[in-house]
Amino acid sequence: MVEPILQLKNLSVSFDTKNGEVEAVRDVSLTLKKGEILAIVGESGCGKTVMSQAVLKLLPKTSRIKQGQIIVDGEDITDYKEKEMRKLRGGVMSMVFQDPMTTLNPTIPIGKQITEAIVKHNKVSKDEAKKRGIEMLNLVGINREEEMFSLQPHFFSGGMRQRCVLAIALASNPQILFADEATTALDVTVQAKILDLLLDIRNKTGISIVFISHDLGVVARIADRVAVMYAGKIVEIGTAEDIFYNPRHPYVWGLMSALPALTKAGESLATIPGTPPIMLNPPPGDAFAIRNRYALAIDYEEMPPMYEVSPTHYAATWLMDEKAPKIKPPISLKRMEKE
Amino acid sequence: MMNSEPILSVSNLQQHFKINKDLTIKAVNGVDFEVKKGEVVGLVGETGSGKSTVARTIMGIYPATAGEVYFKGNLISDKGVYRKNKGDINKNMQIIFQDSAAALNPRMTIEEIITEPIVVNKLLQDKNKIQEKLDTLLMEVGLDHTFKKKYPTEISGGQRQRVAIARCLSTSPDLIIADEPIASLDVSIQAQIITLFQRLQREHGFSFLLIAHDLSIIKFICDKVAVMLHGKIMEIGPTEEIFTRPAHPYTQSLLSAVPVPDPIYERNKILIDYDARSAIEEAEMVELSPKHRVFNNFPSLVFQKLY
């Protein structure tokens, strides 16, 4: 049994706004094992980014962790103050964001931005830091790394910049990497290469990755396990095979059948009606009920618990209850590759 | 619905941006294609391939450096002809942009935004008729009358894109150009908008030039696809042929990079890398089948005829 590097226990995060409390993350529990890539999937506003920000304590001042525990490498960091977090951030945990240009400082050479992270967390000499910085550029697949070391970000293309950001994030050997839509702004060809790079780095360093994305195709390529979030809650979690070949939550069915890639040409796309809810006043029952064709009466009244589908696979839908009618998933998710 | 009459025809289109006296960016460098009546044509390519510049040059947002754009038989890339046909062009060619928040005037209500083209083009004079048209348009794009008095900031991204579509339909155009219309929307909303485009295209029969980087969407709704790279079309042909038998190395690489929502397939997939080192600058388009052409910039490569 591989021990967990990150554990969230019943985590809830709320924002205080002038219109009331917005419950961005509601009662989320999950574990991330060492060397594992966990993908968090969901639409905008489902709480996937807030959840990762809560772990890194990068939340804005208007928000607070309402309940729950964050355990990193066996240590409860829920009540850590900024000073203690600074040691963790960049050291134990790192984050990569969507837009590399806003992450990087446009006036400082790439090399200096990488060594800054190294010097901050390790007691090393300047030369050693530089040596390690060049190693990092090499690790993320940047050629002529010594030359590139002294160039400013604007000399680099979008994909190269994202590689540089990765180099900074990985500079002081973190154990957990949060990648928040890290490939969304890139072209498909570049995206594919960055995904392969992440897999390669995981295999080389054994880092755990929380990969936040809305793109199910990308998730299929990279994830070992997948958690699907809706309205601040995890509605289904399991291995990639569980989620893609045997989804149980109607929201996941909806997401899958809305993909052109899984729909035959000439057939119309199945759409999920309506829009994701605003979390100002979340409905009492399953937040997805009003968009759900298969909603039961109880869905509107009571939140469904997590049902165990298999020891690796859990889904929060009343359809899993023994009293619920048996519904065949409206999608045939067979393996596409036939040989 | 479809017949052979081209509604839009672009030949040797070039758009060069002069940055300074040493540097000229050849954003579009000799592009030829046609959009027939009622046809849905997809334009794909990565960032900087010039696909949006093609759209903007067709629309007349930038004057073309060289080449011809024919719209319904008129050479609209010529200033004089453009001016003479301005009314017709404005009414019959519409564009939808990616960022609906930037495309819609934040100080106008939805009602004003949608009816503005009708008023400007003097398509309807009677106020009641305009209101009737507004109601039909809102209904067609799946919005109700409660939206009339709202402002663009008050509605969601998907709803804003619906408003942009309603506005562009208000003049009953012959050609709609959509530049990444769904790229900034959520997956479930993307599906709603694609379905909406499909339905509207079937009902109204307009020609549709769809620019996107998402190949799964192009595959899903386009009759014909053009793949662009560095300002040139690398391969153009019927969607099915392009996706099942891509001929150009770049198309093959692009198709292999598209992530498919199937973990086992994805894990075993091997990416095809596009190696441009042996590519040459000047080359000809080679015909593989009557509708399928490929840019022959790899002299060593012999393309198999498909017929």
Report d(CA B184, CA A43) in Å as an integer.
11
Model pLDDT for residues A180-207, shown as the tens digit of each residue: 988 887 888 888 889 999 999 999 999 9
Question: Tens digit of pLDDT for each residue in B51-100?
Answer: 889 999 998 888 899 999 999 988 998 889 999 998 899 899 999 988 88
- Backbone dihedral angles phi then psi of residue A16, each to the nearest 5 degrees: -95, 115
Instruction: Round to whole Å and give the CA distance between B183 and B194.
Output: 11
pLDDT at residue B1 is higher than 50: no
- What phi, psi does B140 have (nearest 5°)? -60, -35
Task: Between B18 and B209, name the one with better pLDDT.
Answer: B209
Nearest chain B residue (CA) to A223: B263
Question: How far away is chain B from the Cα of A125, in angstroms, using its nearest Cα?
Answer: 39
Contact B188 A254 (CB under 8 A): yes
Supply the mean pLDDT for chain B. 89
B80 vs A: CB within 8 A: no
Of the candidates A220, A241, A262, which has its C-beta nearest B259's C-beta? A220
Residue-wise pLDDT tens digits, A230-275: 999 999 999 999 999 999 999 999 888 888 877 776 677 788 887 7
Mean pLDDT of B209-228: 90
User: Distance between CA atoms of B213 and B210, rounded to whole angstroms?
Assistant: 10
pLDDT at A339: 32
List beta partners, residue A212. A40, A180
Task: Check CB contact under 8 Å for A220 and B260.
Answer: yes
- Contact between A32 and A221 (Cβ < 8 Å): no
Check whether A338 has a pLDDT greater than 50: no
**How would DSSP label each residue in B251-301?**
HHHHHHHS--S-HHHHHH--PPPP--TT--SS--EEEEETTEEEE---TT-
Over residues B174-195, the pLDDT tens digits come to: 999 999 888 878 887 888 888 8
User: Is B259 part of the contact surface with chain A (CB cutoff 8 Å)?
Assistant: yes
CA-nearest of A280, A184, A277, A272 to A230 is: A277
Query: Alpha-carbon distance B283 to A217, whole Å?
Result: 35
Going A218 to A219 to A220 to A224, the CA torsion angle's sign is positive
In angstroms, the CA A227 to CA A233 distance is: 10
Does the pLDDT of residue B307 top 80, yes or no?
A: no
Taking CA–CA distances from B143, the nearest residue in chain A reads A274
The whole-angstrom distance between B23's CA and the closest CA on chain A is: 16
Q: Do residue A221 and residue B263 have CB atoms under 8 angstroms apart?
A: yes
pLDDT score at A109: 93
Condensed to tens digits (0 to 9), the pLDDT of residues B242-258 reads 999 999 999 999 999 88
Structural domains for chain B: 6-230 (3.40.50.300), 246-307 (no CATH)
Question: ∠ CA A311-A293-B260 to the nearest 5 degrees?
Answer: 60
Cβ separation B261–A275 shorter than 8 A: no
Three-point CA angle B119, B192, B139, nearest 5°? 40
CB-based burial of residue A240 (10 Å sphere; 0-12 exposed, 13-18 middle, 19+ buried)?
Answer: buried
Q: What SS3 state is found at B19?
A: coil
Which residue type, as a one-letter code, is found at position B104? L
Instruction: Name the one residue in this structure whose structure tokens are 């758009």.
Output: B15
* Residue among A158, A244, A263 minimizing CB distance to B263: A244
Q: Which of B226, B275, B264 is nearest to B10 (CA)?
A: B226
Angle at A308 between CA A306 and CA A310, to 5 degrees: 150
In this prediction, residue B98 carries a pLDDT of: 85
Residue A201 in contact with residue A207, Cβ under 8 Å?
yes
Tokens representing B293 are: 């052409």
> What is the mean pLDDT of the segment spanning A128-140?
90
Is residue B94 within 8 Å of B171, Cβ to Cβ?
yes
Look at A335 and B265 and tell me if their CB atoms are within 8 Å.
yes
Do residue B258 and residue A188 have CB atoms under 8 angstroms apart? Answer: yes
pLDDT band at A122 (very low <50, low <70, confident <90, very high): confident
- Say how far residue A138 (Cα) sits from the centre of its chain: 25
Q: Is B154 on the interface with A (CB under 8 A)?
A: no
Rounded average pLDDT over A286-310 = 89
ipTM reported for the complex, 2 dp? 0.80
pLDDT at site A143 = 83
**Amino acid residing at A190:** V
Separation of alpha carbons B111 and B249, rounded Å = 48
Which of helix, strand or coil describes residue B75?
Answer: strand
B195 touches chain A (CB under 8 A): yes
**A319 with A307: CB under 8 angstroms?**
no
Select from B159, B195, B220 the residue whose CB has the most chain A CBs within 10 Å, as the one to mutate to test that interface.
B220
Could you tell me how many CB contacts below 8 A there are between chain A and chain B?
Answer: 126
The number of residues in chain A equals 339
Give strand pairing partners of B41. Answer: B209, B224
Task: Give the HSE-up count for residue B54: Cα atoms under 13 Å, Cβ half-sphere.
Answer: 38
Cβ of B262 and A187 within 8 Å?
Answer: no
Please state, in angstroms and as integers, the Cα–Cα distance from residue A262 to each residue in A134, A175, A296, following that order. 42, 35, 27
Query: Of A196, A269, A335, A339, which to mutate for an interface test with B (greatest number of B Cβ within 10 Å)?
Result: A269
Q: What is the pLDDT of residues A142-187, one digit of tens each?
A: 888 888 899 999 888 888 899 999 999 998 889 999 999 888 878 8
pLDDT digits (tens, 9 = 90+) for A6-17: 999 999 999 988
Query: Which letter does DSSP use for residue A79 in this model?
Result: T
| Cβ atoms A312, A248 nearer than 8 A | no
Chain B partners within 8 Å of A263 (Cβ): 220
The string of pLDDT tens digits covering residues B104-160 is: 999 999 999 999 999 999 999 899 999 999 999 999 898 888 899 999 998 888 889
- Spatial CB neighbours of B132, under 8 Å, sequence gap ≥ 6: none
Cβ of B146 under 8 Å from any chain A Cβ? no
Q: CA B197 to CA B191: how far, in whole Å?
A: 10
Look at residues B236, B255, B227, B226 and name the one whose alpha carbon lies nearest to residue B294: B236
Q: Cα separation of A219 and A228, whole Å? A: 11
Tell me the chain A residues in contact with residue B220 when contact means C-beta distances shorter than 8 Å.
Answer: 260, 263, 265, 269
